[in-house]
Amino acid sequence: MAQVLRSVAAFRAACDQARVRGLGFVPTMGALHEGHLALVTEAKRHAPIVAASIFVNPTQFGPNEDFARYPRDLEADLAKLDAVGADLLFAPDVAEMYPAGEQTRVNVPLVAAPLCGRFRPGHFEGVATVVTKLLAIVGPCTAVFGRKDYQQLAVIRRLVIDLRLPTTVIGVPTVRDLDGLAKSSRNLYLSPVQRARALAIPRSLAQAQAAFASGERNAATLARVARVQVEAAADDVDYVEVVDADSLSPLMDNKIDDRALIAIACHVGQTRLIDNVVLGEDAPVIVG
Ligand code: PAF
């Protein structure tokens, strides 16, 4: 049974003790699904003791986003963490993470600017701030994040380098349902009809992968191929872009050399969904 810790002091002490044997860390916002559990399993491959955190971080939600209705079920999450062998769970409240008078924020301006950064102002500042706090509490460890949040992972990799944090960052491939939809806590919001429409996202990624495999190397053409399906199915499309997989910047002359990121963000009903693959690197998306 994972030990649940509510205070920064108690969690820090437990991490300090665990680190002697090797410590892995998986930060989450709860509403755990198989994607999160794959992160814990990966952390276990790197370290005998694994700590998870569950904290719905208010600073990464915009004023009209889903902070209030974000699914919260600590008991169910704890049972799932136990099933995959997590040892520690940090579940602080907001005042514990953001003490009275707090004002410090962490910004990673260039990596956070494109893609979701254009549509969710302040989101990556909130993510970078809370992840920095968490990594400062946990101390030296191997921290594991999902590649579904590709830009988030890029922001975290950058801040760990820039702030000289003693963290080894690992990215884990996206876990998908059998029909191809990427696992996400927000899939819980989708009605069956909306969920069926959301399958346009993995379908469009698979189509772009097929075009890439057939030799297409123009980023704009590949983005256009993917966009057609997403536009037909979604209520609103934030972006469908093919960019440099490292810098997330546009590709010079739209030309892809060996690999590129195709990333999608769109709304189905009230639910904002994101997904991506690295063309030339990730396994083909299988769509049912
Ligand atoms: O990916 C998430 O669940 C969150 O953005 C994270 C990394 C736990 C920060 O709140």
Question: pTM of the prediction?
Answer: 0.97
pLDDT score recorded for residue 288 = 83
DSSP H helices in the chain: 8-19, 34-46, 74-83, 94-97, 109-112, 116-119, 123-138, 150-162, 192-198, 200-213, 219-233
Local structure of residue 176 (DSSP, 8 states): B
Query: Smallest Cα–Cα separation from 222: which of 269, 182, 277?
Result: 277
pLDDT by 10s per residue, the chain, length 288: 899 999 999 999 999 999 999 999 999 999 999 999 999 999 999 999 999 999 999 999 999 999 999 999 999 999 999 999 999 999 999 999 999 999 999 999 999 999 999 999 999 999 999 999 999 999 999 999 999 999 999 999 999 999 999 999 999 999 999 999 999 999 999 999 999 999 999 999 999 999 999 999 999 999 999 999 999 999 999 999 999 999 999 999 999 999 999 999 999 999 999 999 999 999 999 998
Q: How far apart are CA 138 and CA 144, in angstroms?
A: 13
- 6-20 CB burial, b ≥16 within 10 A, e <16: eebeebbebbeebbe
Give residues (CB < 6 A) around ligand 1.
27-29, 57, 60, 127, 130-131, 149, 152
Distance 102 CA to ligand 1 centre (A): 20
- Protein residue with least CA distance to atom 6, ligand 1: 28
Distance 27 CA to ligand 1 centre (A): 6
In DSSP terms, 52 is beta-bridged to 26, 89
| Residue where the block lists tokens 């992968």 | 209
Contact status, residue 262 vs residue 151, Cβ threshold 8 Å: no
Question: Cα 128 from chain centroid?
Answer: 12
Task: Tell me the two tokens of residue 186.
Answer: 């927000």
Using most ligand atoms within 8 A of CB, pick from 65, 152, 274 the residue to mutate for ligand 1: 152
Measured at the CA of 137, the angle between CA 132 and CA 4, to 5 degrees, comes to 120
Residue 100 backbone dihedrals phi, psi, to 5 degrees: -50, 135
Using the mean position of ligand 1's atoms as its centre, give its distance from the Cα of residue 13 in Å: 22
What is the residue with the minimal CA distance to atom 8 of ligand 1?
Answer: 28
Nearest CA to ligand 1 atom 3: 28
Nearest CA owner, ligand 1 atom 5: 127
pLDDT at residue 262 in the model: 98
107 Cα: distance to centroid of ligand 1 (angstroms):
15
What ligand 1 atom has the least distance to the C-alpha of 29? 3
Domains of the chain, first to last: 3-172 (3.40.50.620), 185-279 (3.30.1300.10)
Reply yes or no on whether 36 is catalytic.
Answer: yes
CA–chain centroid gap for 172, Å, is 10
**Cα-to-centroid distance, 67 and ligand 1 (Å):** 13
For residue 8 the two structure tokens come to: 């920064």
Active-site residue identified among 33, 36, 46, 123: 36
Nearest to 51 by CA among 127, 135, 158, 128: 135
The owner of tokens 């698979």 is 206
End-to-end CA distance of the chain, in Å?
36
What is the SS3 assignment for 93? coil
Q: Which two tokens stand for residue 225?
A: 């191929």
